[in-house]
């Protein structure tokens, strides 16, 4: 394989030969989004995994997304180009801690964000994504006792738009927590007419100054429907690839994260886990049909119910 172009062709050839479906999240590198059969937000990717008749799925995203594919399509081979592509948000809720918390709160039902391990989903009543969380929370009776986790910012936001008082897990995403009102204000000073698009994993003050709050697909849809506007984008910068592709003349300004005191730490607004996916890894994964993602039977049996409940409700 001499260069990136050949690699893309080889990936497509192998995918056809093996009847493999390549799924990619909007946060992956542009070249990966270009080689995929389908790109989407977490909800759309889960839907696609549930309905495909391909023999295998290559999930270019993070590990919990591949687990969700496997739970929904247990008979298929689910490949993950880099099984170390984790998620700081999923890591912020361990199954044993959630189990203990549930025991301490009898009578409560658990609503879990899709950014969780299969083991956490197995302890959950219904899974949500940022694209359907409000709709699903609204289906519970007003007096229902609810635990929402693990994303604290998304949970607070959903509490505010539904008038609920769900108990919130104190988890977060290391990328979205670093966006600040100060950085948005700097961009606003240069581009006063630009609308602010923010993912609900951002902190409350950031969401308070946003014009549109939603999942990656919701933010993209808004931009596509209003290409005459310009946008300040407070989410992982990978989404700009598809935004710019669908709105070639629209100006998008990615929000840089607040640099920590002393200027230390990563100064990029990228998810290092999502960026672990590369064309080389996809090629080798398809060629060797490895590594696969497995979920043990008992966990999968319990985890599939709240995911299917989500798909039925959204």
Classify residue 252 as exposed, middle or buried by CB count within 10 Å of its CB (0-12, 13-18, 19+): middle
Q: What does the DSSP 8-state code read for residue 262?
A: G
Q: What does the DSSP 8-state code read for residue 151?
A: B
Q: How far is the CB of 188 from ligand 13P (least distance, A)?
A: 23
Classify residue 63 as exposed, middle or buried by CB count within 10 Å of its CB (0-12, 13-18, 19+): buried
Binding partner of 124, given ligand SF4, ligand 13P, none, CB within 5-8 angstroms per partner class: none
Helix segments in 18-132, DSSP class H: 30-35, 42-51, 63-72, 88-91, 95-104, 118-121
Give residue 196's Cα distance to chain centre: 19
Binding partner of 68, given ligand 13P, ligand SF4, none, CB within 5-8 angstroms per partner class: none
Closer of 7 and 62 to ligand 13P (Cβ): 62
Closer of 158 and 271 to ligand SF4 (Cβ): 271
Closer of 116 and 299 to ligand SF4 (Cβ): 116
Binding partner of 242, given ligand 13P, ligand SF4, none, CB within 5-8 angstroms per partner class: none
Q: How far is the CB of 137 from ligand SF4 (least distance, A)?
A: 19
Closer of 54 and 271 to ligand SF4 (Cβ): 271
Residues that bind ligand SF4 (CB under 6 A): 27, 62, 87-89, 115, 173-175, 201, 236, 271, 273-274
Rounded to an integer, what distance in angstroms lies between the CA atom of residue 193 and that of residue 106?
Answer: 49
List binding-site positions for iminosuccinate. 25, 42, 113-115, 130, 199-201, 216
Rounded to an integer, what distance in angstroms lies between the CA atom of residue 56 and that of residue 288?
Answer: 12
């Amino acid at each position: 394989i001499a260069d990136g172009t050949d690699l893309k062709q080889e990936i497509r050839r192998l995918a056809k030969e093996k009847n493999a479906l390549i799924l990619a999240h909007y946060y992956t590198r542009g070249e990966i989004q270009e080689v995929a059969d389908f790109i989407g937000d977490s909800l759309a990717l889960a839907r696609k995994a549930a309905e495909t008749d391909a023999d295998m799925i290559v999930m270019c995203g993070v590990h919990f997304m591949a687990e969700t594919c496997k739970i929904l399509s247990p008979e298929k081979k689910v490949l993950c180009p880099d099984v170390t592509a984790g998620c700081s948000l999923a890591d912020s809720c361990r199954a044993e801690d959630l189990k203990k918390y549930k025991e301490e709160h009898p009578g409560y039902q658990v609503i879990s964000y899709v950014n969780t391990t299969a083991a956490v989903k197995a302890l959950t009543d219904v899974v949500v994504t940022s694209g359907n969380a409000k709709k699903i929370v609204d289906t519970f009776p007003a007096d229902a006792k609810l635990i929402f986790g693990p994303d604290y910012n998304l949970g607070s936001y959903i509490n505010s738009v539904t008038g609920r008082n769900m108990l919130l897990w104190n988890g977060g995403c290391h990328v979205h927590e670093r966006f600040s009102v100060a950085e948005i204000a700097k961009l606003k000073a240069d581009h006063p007419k630009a609308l602010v698009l923010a993912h609900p994993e951002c902190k409350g003050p950031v969401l308070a100054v946003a014009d549109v709050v939603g999942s990656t697909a919701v933010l993209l849809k808004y931009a596509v429907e209003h290409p005459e506007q310009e946008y300040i984008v407070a989410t992982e910068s990978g989404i700009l690839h598809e935004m710019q592709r669908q709105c070639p003349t629209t100006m998008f300004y990615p929000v840089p994260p607040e640099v920590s005191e002393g200027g230390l730490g990563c100064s990029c607004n990228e998810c290092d886990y999502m960026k672990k996916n590369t064309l080389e890894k996809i090629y080798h994964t398809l060629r060797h049909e490895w590594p696969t993602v497995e979920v043990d039977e008992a966990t999968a049996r319990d985890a599939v119910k709240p995911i299917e409940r989500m798909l039925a409700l959204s």
